[in-house]
Structure 1
Amino acid sequence: MAVNIYASADETSSSKGSAQNQALAAGTSTIDCPDVGQRLTSVPAQAKAQVDKELALLDKQISEAYQRLSTSQKAIQQDPNFAQNAIVGPLKDKRKATIDRIAIAIGRVAAKPQGLDALAACTLRATGNAGQGGNNNQGGNDTNAGGTGNGPVAADFVDITKVKSNVRTPARSAKASKGVFVSKCGVNANKLYNSDNVIVAPGVTNGAHHVHDYVGNQDNDAFSSDQDFAKAGTSCQNKGDKSSYYWPVLRLQDGTKEFDAGKQGGGAEGNTGRILTAKKATLDFVGSPRGKVVAMPKFLRIITGDAKAFVNGTANANASWSCTGFENKVQLKDKYPLCPSGSDVVRTFKFQSCWDSRNIDSANHRTHVAFADAGGNCPTGFKAIPQLVQRLVYDVDAPSVKDNGKTRPFFSLDSFPEQQHKPVTDHGDFINVFDAKLMNKAVQCINTGRKCS
């Protein structure tokens, strides 16, 4: 639930108003807007291209509004109503016009969706980052030394040795498919980066507003078609796997000026520092604890996690952070791990493992696939498919949280600007471009309990 930091009519005490204005002036707030894309359960094919572009425009509008908010502390100090009148109010007007175009586009070929106008208004949300760096880009001793002022902060990190065990694994039935198919696709040594997202924002440059690492398919940008994927090269050892695997880059906030330092998606949107290449990236396809799996259809798209979970809430979040030597004990959802000496940072994505048996994508890019329940069972009407388990290992020192990363800098995910590099926003994307022969091999391997590649 977002927190509107403006006082309502019956909350006008000077002390409360002063605290709220101080939060705005210090930059310790973000912009929280309803996620329109997640509310669209059906978009006709004829309207999809325009709807995708309008959804990407909504993201751009939020990014621009957040950037203005983060650079307007002086104006807010002088006028407590500045943020509402000059940033949030105009943002609502822009969003309403864009949302109207979405409804009209759908209405031309199907029933016009109702009630989308209610999603236009945004609120200002207090982040709790005061005194810890965060958005505070005013200088001083509490600012993250190598960052640009929009996170992370010391409170985003936790000593993993002090976290209680929280890992639970569903029991396997006698009919479980226990095999593993391994696709070896490298760690993006080719340095294939961009800030597009061809699943969520096809045809839109910088649709992600943060930079992705790519392995597997080597034709990855906003304009790649299924035909492009099929014809492209691959970094995978088995050339029958031309799938696209991508995730937001991890950076060390050490002041390094990367290739994207002044570009949208990079430094211009608060994603700064040295991009860290994983020392190891494993892509395992595993079976179901309840029975056999079926083949995934070619060009199936799966997004796991939520890049906007900091403001959206955790309904679709699926971040898992840990350290080598601790993965079977502790997985962190909303904290970066401080790993002990000799232990590496690990990001793990366990993708959805149930498919609706019909669609390779859906309007909100989620409802055509699902997670199995706690017992490993797929929802009614869904079939178990090979589950992608993606594991990324990074050799990065634990930052010095007591001095806000001055001695040893923070590391952080790239993110939408308003998401402030929060670890809960970690996510992964996958487009299946296995050829039929290799997919059948993978399914047989998994269902017969073998390990193959």
Structure 2
Amino acid sequence: MHWKSVTALALAAPASALLRFGCSQLVVVRIDPLVNPGLAPSPHLHQIIGGNAFNITMDPSKDIPAEATCTTCQFSEDFSNYWTAVLFFKAPNGTYHRVPQIPNLGFEGAKGGMTVYYMQDGLANYQQTSKVTAFKPGFRQLIGEASYRSKAQSRRFRQITYTCLETPGTRFPESMDFPTKPCAAGIMANVRFPTCWDGKNLDSPDHMSHMAYPESGTFESGGPCPASHPVRVPQLMYETIWDTSSFNDKALWPASGQPFVWSMDDTTGFGSHGDYVFGWKDDSLQRAMDSTCYVNCPTLKTQSISAMNKCSKSIPFDEKIDGWLEAIPGLPDTATQKA
């Protein structure tokens, strides 16, 4: 995604809805209520943003907005949860250090977190004219596969990429694997979800089959949805900026490649993935999608960055995740990681 394109879209008028908003960090913890519901700790570490109703099971029968008391997201009616794996730096001596997250341009002051997008059309269509159906209560999805380690495997998912940030405004080129050189302003991990829903199932056993990519073309080109998944929904996108600047000394990098590793022990970058549990209050997301919105949306309630930063979630078990670690939490065991 090119920052110049985003800026141009902000100035285009009239335009329909494109939501771009920041969310501060909620919690970093080994919980995954989609893939490992009820399991605590789950196999690998995740970083989570959104509503504080987040829990080990995320029972789909529960009313998430009613259960939550706050959200780390800019739009205070969004109690959804969004999460990804966590990035670590591996030092030459074999120890690991969690890479911190920093806010995106326009959201300075936020406590880490991510930038979230809901788009009706690719950015080439500045007017965002397509009509889309908002996700429904109980909806959830996953994109990416944590076990993938090759480009051939990762091609199954069209738009899970990385951007090596030379400056905070860098938005291209994108790669499917980790950058192989130091990135002055950090590494941006981009996760884009499919945009065609079967219109029936709020979830599926693999958390993906109820969703599909366009039958031909792409989301950006306005490709049509397949007959099996005829309902067009917004493209959900995450941008996470990992502040790798403290680890950019090439003397600390292995001769064989780059030093970063995902929390599921992925040094290739091909295992990147994102999870989503819908939690917008009432019909607020549909109203936004039917309105003229860009960042500031007149149909939605907006909270301050300080309010976003105040929302948090207590961790249900004690595990050391910061400082220098002998092993990534959960890999291969956590015996030395307990505080």
Q: TM-score range by the shorter chain?
A: 0.5 to 0.7
- What letter matches 1:217 in structure 2? G
Counterpart secondary structure, 1:238: coil
1:232 aligns with 2:64: no
State the alpha-carbon separation in 1 of the partners of residues 29 and 254 from structure 2.
27
2:79 is aligned to 242
2:197 is aligned to 355
RMSD, matched Cα? 3.4
Q: Deviations over 1:27-70 (max 9, x none)?
A: xxxxxxxxxxxxxxxxxxxxxxxxxxxxxxxxxxxxxxxxxxxx
1:180 is aligned to 18
Contact map agreement 2:115 2:238 (CA 8 A) in 1: yes
Shift of 1:214: 0.7
- What letter matches 1:335 in structure 2? F
2:270 is aligned to 424
Larger radius of gyration: 1
What are the equivalent positions in structure 2 for 1:296-445 lying under 5 Å apart?
A: 296-310=135-149, 313-317=153-157, 318-324=159-165, 328-341=171-184, 343-372=185-214, 373-374=217-218, 375-377=221-223, 378-380=225-227, 381-397=229-245, 399-401=248-250, 404-405=253-254, 410-415=259-264, 417=265, 420-445=266-291
> Against the structure 1 CA distance between its residues 194 and 291, is the aligned structure 2 distance closer, same or farther, given a 3 Å change threshold?
same
Shift of 1:430: 0.8
The match for 2:121 among 271, 282, 288 is: 288
Count of aligned residue pairs for this structure pair: 256
- What letter matches 1:278 in structure 2? I
What are the equivalent positions in structure 2 for 1:143-182 lying under 5 Å apart?
A: 179-182=17-20
- What letter matches 2:199 in structure 1? S
Contact map agreement 2:92 2:254 (CA 8 A) in 1: no
Bigger relative CO (Cα 8 Å, ≥ 6 apart) = 2
1:221 is aligned to 55
Contact map agreement 1:178 1:286 (CA 8 A) in 2: no
- What letter matches 1:299 in structure 2? G
Counterpart secondary structure, 1:313: helix
TM-score normalised by structure 2 residue count? 0.65
Structure 1 alignment gaps of length 5 or more? 1-176, 257-269
What are the equivalent positions in structure 2 for 1:15-26 lying under 5 Å apart?
A: none
State the alpha-carbon separation in 2 of the partners of residues 183 and 271 from structure 1.
35
> Against the structure 1 CA distance between its residues 436 and 399, is the aligned structure 2 distance closer, same or farther, given a 3 Å change threshold?
same
> Against the structure 1 CA distance between its residues 272 and 340, is the aligned structure 2 distance closer, same or farther, given a 3 Å change threshold?
closer
Structure 2 alignment gaps of length 5 or more? 1-14, 105-113, 123-128, 298-339
Shift of 1:275: 4.2
1:153 is aligned to none
State the alpha-carbon separation in 1 of the partners of residues 58 and 140 from structure 2.
13
1:203 is aligned to 38
1:80 is aligned to none
State the alpha-carbon separation in 1 of the partners of residues 51 and 84 from structure 2.
13
State the alpha-carbon separation in 1 of the partners of residues 254 and 131 from structure 2.
48
Counterpart secondary structure, 1:423: coil
Q: Which protein is richer in helix relative to its size? A: 1
> Against the structure 1 CA distance between its residues 327 and 425, is the aligned structure 2 distance closer, same or farther, given a 3 Å change threshold?
farther
Shift of 1:366: 0.9
Q: Which protein is richer in strand relative to its size? A: 2
State the alpha-carbon separation in 1 of the partners of residues 97 and 171 from structure 2.
31
State the alpha-carbon separation in 1 of the partners of residues 50 and 249 from structure 2.
35
